[in-house]
Amino acid sequence: MFSPPEILHVLVRLRIDALLGIGVALAACEIARRHARRHGAGGDFSRVVCLTVVALALVGALLAEWTALVLGYPASTTLATLALARAAVLGASVVLGIVLLVTALRLALLRAELRAHADTERQLQQAKTAADNANRAKSDFLAVMSHEIRTPLNAVMGFASLLAETRLDEAQRGYLGTITTEGERLGSLINDVLDLTKIEEGRLILERLPFAPAETAYEVLRLLSARANEKKLDLRFEAQIAGPLLVAGDPLRFRQILVNLIDNAIKFTPQGSVTLFLAWTPPAGAGSPHGQLRVRVRDTGIGIAPEKLRDLFQKFMQVDTSTTRRYGGTGLGLAICRRLVRLMGGEIEVTSTPDQGSEFSFSLPFTDVALPPATHAAPPSPAANRGHIPRILVVDDMETNRFLLEVFLRRNGFAPELAAGGEEAIRLAAQNTYDAILMDLQMPDLDGYTAARRIRAAEPPGRHTPIIALTASVAKDTREKCLAAGMDEHLTKPLDLRKFKAFLDTFVRTVAPAATLAV
Ligand code: ADP
C-alpha cells in the first residue's frame, strides 16, 4: 500500500491533477453540448465556449506548474503545501470554466426558448388569420345562401298569400296552410341563423328606444295565445310593476326573447299552464340610474333532465334526438336568447324538474324614462287618394318576382309597370313619371345601385321619384350603399305583403326620403 506522501508525490510528478482538471473541463463541455442539443439549442451553443473552457483548464495546469517555482519547492516548502497550492489553482480554473460553461448554456437555452415562443406566436397568428378568413367566408356564405333561399321563398310565400285570396276547397286550403306554415318556419330558421351570426360577429347593435315592457309582454302573449288555446293550456301573466313603466331599451330584441321562451314553454307543455312573470325593481338611489326588470317564464311541462341543463344554451342543442321529430325546432332559440340577454347586460338561468316543469329567468338593467312612447300615425289608405292611381315601376330580373309584385300592386290600387333590368328601368324612368320605383339590387345587366344613380342623375330639377330597394341581401352595409346611390329606402325580402302594403300607402303618398319603417 502507498502512504499519502507517496500518493502526493506520484500525483505531482505525473501531473495527474492537471490531467484530471483538463479531463473534467472536456467532459463538462461534452455534457453541456449534449444538453443543449437535447433541448433544441445545439445551434445556439457556440464551440468557442468549449475551446475557452479547455483553454482555461490548460492555463490552470500551467499556473499549477508555476506554483512550484513561486513556493520554492522542494527547498522552502513541503510536498503537501505544493499539492494544496496546485489543487487550488487547478480547481479555480476548472470552476471558472464551468461557470462560463453554465452561463453560456443557459443563454443558449434561453435563446432557443425565445425562438420557440416567436415560432408559436407566428403559428398562432397564422392560425388566427386562417380562422378569421374562415369566419368571414362563413358569413359571406351565409349571406349569399340566405339571399339564395330568401328569393325563392319570397315568391313561394307571396304566391301562397295571393292563392289564399282565391276560391279554394277545404283540402286545397289545408295544403296552402302547410305551405304557409313551413314557409314561415324556413323564414324563421334563416332569421335565427343570421341573428346568431350577427351576434357572434359583434354586428348586432341594440336599439335604445322608450318602450313599455308590460305592453310588449302582453302583445307576445296575445300572439301566442292561439297556440296555447289549441293545447288547452292556461296562459297567464303576472306583473309586479307599480304604474305604467316605460324603459329605454331594444323592444324588438326584448320581444324576441319573450317569444322564444314562451313559445318553447307552450311547445314543451302537454297540459297545465305557462306563466310569464314581470317584476320591476326601481333604481336603488341617485347613484345608480338602472332599475332591474326581472322576467320569469314558468311552465308545467315535460321538464329537462339535470345533466342536460348545463349545455342547454349551446347552439343546436336539443335535449334528445327525437325533439326535432316530435316538436320541430332547430336548437338555436335558447342560444340566441342567452346571447341577447348578455348583450342587454343580464344572464339567463334555468331550473327544471323532469315531468314537473321548467322556469327560465333573467334580470335586465333598464333606465326608466318619462317620455311617452312614439306613436305612429295610421297610414293613409289608398282610398283617401282616389283621384290618382300611383304608377309604380317594378325593376327585377326574375319573372316570378315581377309577376308577384305586379299582381299584388294591381290588387291594392297601384298601377305597376315592369322592367326586367337596370337599362330598361333607366329608359322607362326617363320617358315616364312614376310615383315610386321598386328596385331589385342584383341584376345581370346593370345592378340596382348603378341604375338608381343614373335615374337620379337624369331627373329634372325639382323631381324626386322615391326609389325603394327590394333585396334578399342581408349584408350589413346594403342600406348605407342604397342611400348613397340615391335610393330612399331599403327593404329585405321575403316581404310581409300586408305590412309592405301599409308601407307603400305611407311612403308613396307622403314621400319621405330615407324613412325608417319596419316592414
Ligand atoms: P328549439 O326549441 O328550436 O329546439 P331551443 O334552443 O329553443 O331550440 O331549445 C333547445 C332545447 O331545449 C329544446 O329542443 C328542448 O329540448 C329544450 N327546452 C327548451 N325549452 C324547454 C322547456 N320550456 N321545457 C322543456 N324543454 C325545453
Band of pLDDT at residue 327, cut at 50, 70 and 90: low
- Grid cell locating 253: 330584441
- Grid cell locating 376: 305612429
- The per-residue pLDDT for 400 is 67
- The per-residue pLDDT for 243 is 63
Question: pLDDT higher for 372 or 317?
Answer: 317
**Percent of the chain clearing pLDDT 90 (strictly above):** 41
For residue 124, pLDDT beyond 80: yes
Q: Which atom of ligand 1 is nearest to the CA of 265?
A: 23
pLDDT digits (tens, 9 = 90+) for 340-374: 999 999 999 999 999 999 999 999 999 887 544 33
For residue 472, pLDDT beyond 80: no
Strand partners, 468: 438, 489
Q: Which atom of ligand 1 is nearest to the CA of 330?
A: 3
How far is the C-alpha of 515 from the C-alpha of 72, rounded, in Å?
110
Band of pLDDT at residue 386, cut at 50, 70 and 90: very low
Ligand 1 center to 470 CA (angstroms): 34
How far is the C-alpha of 382 from the C-alpha of 192, rounded, in Å?
35
Q: How many CA atoms lie within 13 A of 97 on its CB side?
A: 29
**Percent of the chain clearing pLDDT 70 (strictly above):** 88
- The per-residue pLDDT for 514 is 34
Residue 75 near residue 47, CB atoms below 8 Å: no
**Closest CA to ligand 1's atom 21:** 264
How far is the C-alpha of 240 from the C-alpha of 366, rounded, in Å?
16
- Grid cell locating 80: 503537501
Among candidates 185, 173, 162, 177, which has minimal Cα distance to 498? 162
Ligand 1 center to 283 CA (angstroms): 33
Ligand 1 center to 318 CA (angstroms): 6
- The per-residue pLDDT for 286 is 64
Does the beta carbon of 313 sit less than 6 angstroms from any atom of ligand 1? Answer: no
* CB-based burial label for 471 (10 Å; 0-12, 13-18, 19+): buried
**Closest CA to ligand 1's atom 25:** 303
For residue 512, pLDDT beyond 50: no
- The per-residue pLDDT for 54 is 92
- Grid cell locating 178: 302547410
Q: Mean pLDDT over residues 493-511, rounded?
A: 68
- The per-residue pLDDT for 516 is 31
Question: pLDDT higher for 511 or 274?
Answer: 274
- Grid cell locating 336: 340566441
Range with the largest mean pLDDT of 77-86, 238-247, 356-365: 356-365
Ligand 1 center to 227 CA (angstroms): 16
- The per-residue pLDDT for 208 is 84
Q: Are strands 247-249 and 291-299 parallel, antiparallel or unpaired?
A: unpaired
- Grid cell locating 385: 287618394
- The per-residue pLDDT for 45 is 87
Helix (H) or strand (E) holding 215: helix 213-230
- The per-residue pLDDT for 244 is 67
State the alpha helices, DSSP H only, in 412-511.
422-431, 448-458, 478-484, 497-509
pLDDT digits (tens, 9 = 90+) for 2-60: 788 888 888 888 889 899 999 999 999 999 999 999 988 888 888 899 999 999 999 99
497: left (phi over 0), alpha (psi -120 to 50) or beta: alpha
- The per-residue pLDDT for 239 is 81
Cell numbers 345581370: residue:
444
Does the beta carbon of 333 sit less than 6 angstroms from any atom of ligand 1? Answer: yes
For residue 195, pLDDT beyond 70: yes
Helix (H) or strand (E) holding 357: strand 357-368
For residue 513, pLDDT beyond 70: no
Residue 249 phi, psi dihedral angles, 5° rounding: 180, -165
- The per-residue pLDDT for 265 is 96
Using CA atoms in the order 296, 299, 304, 305, what is the torsion angle rounded to 10 degrees? Answer: 100
Among candidates 330, 360, 334, which has minimal Cα distance to 188? 330
Find all residues with CB under 8 Å of 158, minimum gap 6, and list them.
404, 408, 494, 495, 497
How far is the C-alpha of 472 from the C-alpha of 493, rounded, in Å?
5
Residue 296 phi, psi dihedral angles, 5° rounding: -135, 135
Ligand 1 center to 317 CA (angstroms): 8
**Exposed e or buried b for every residue in 252-277, given b needs 16+ CB within 10 A?**
ebbbbbbbbbbbbbbbbbeeebbbbb
* CB-based burial label for 146 (10 Å; 0-12, 13-18, 19+): buried
Q: Using alpha carbons only, how large is the chain's radius of gyration in Å?
A: 41
DSSP state string for 122-185: HHHHHHHHHHHHHHHHHHHHHHHHHHHHHHHHHHHHHHHHHHHTS---HHHHHHHHHHHHHHHH
Range with the largest mean pLDDT of 134-138, 292-296, 311-315, 375-379: 292-296
pLDDT digits (tens, 9 = 90+) for 46-57: 889 999 999 999
For residue 468, pLDDT beyond 70: yes
For residue 130, pLDDT beyond 50: yes
- The per-residue pLDDT for 477 is 80
Question: pLDDT higher for 222 or 435?
Answer: 435
- The per-residue pLDDT for 43 is 87
- The per-residue pLDDT for 427 is 94
Ligand 1 center to 93 CA (angstroms): 78
DSSP 8-state class, residue 382: G
How far is the C-alpha of 350 from the C-alpha of 310, rounded, in Å?
9
Q: How many CA atoms lie within 13 A of 465 on its CB side?
A: 28
**Closest CA to ligand 1's atom 20:** 264
Residue 384 near residue 413, CB atoms below 8 Å: no
pLDDT digits (tens, 9 = 90+) for 259-299: 999 999 999 999 999 999 999 998 887 667 789 999 999 99
Which of 261, 319, 324 best tests ligand 1's pocket when mutated (most atoms within 8 Å of CB)?
Answer: 319
- The per-residue pLDDT for 119 is 94
CA 211 to chain centre: 27
CA 359 to chain centre: 27
What angle, 0 to 180 degrees and rounded to 10, lies between the N-to-C axes of helices 497-509 and 399-411? 70
- The per-residue pLDDT for 288 is 72
